Amino acid sequence: MSYQLTHAFGTIEAVIDDNCSMKKFFSIASMLASDLHVEFTEKTDNTDTIDWQFIYKNHPLKLHYNIYNGVSICTANREDNDAVHELAMLLEHRYF
């Protein structure tokens, strides 16, 4: 089940699954691409963190994975918080 974290500048991060593997990250990314026609605009893959930028309904968002914190959706702008929340709810219904 997802939950939200609020960062210092008022942006939110919706944690989709805090106990999962990279396999689930790639499964969520695949679902975003195939079902919602999301195109990832920038991909950063490190040893224990993956950040893939994308646009959802004209909102720049990030699919984030960390081996310690799991998979989340986040944004850098407070104006995009509603889109983060909407997408997190959609993903929650598909995966839980």
Q: Read off the pTM.
A: 0.90
pLDDT at 85: 92
CA distance to 6, 21, 72, 74, 96, per residue, from 85 (Å): 12, 22, 11, 9, 16
**Candidates 3.30.930.10, 3.40.50.720, 3.90.79.10, 3.30.160.690; CATH matching 3-95:** 3.30.160.690
- Residue 77 DSSP label: -
Sheet containing 49-56: order of strands: 3-6, 12-17, 70-74, 59-66, 49-56, 40-45
pLDDT tens by residue, the chain, 96 residues: 467 777 768 899 999 888 888 888 999 999 999 999 999 999 999 989 999 999 999 999 999 999 988 999 999 999 999 999 999 989 888 766
pLDDT of residue 95: 66
Domain ranges of the chain: 3-95
The tally of CA atoms less than 13 A away on the side-chain side of residue 77 is: 8
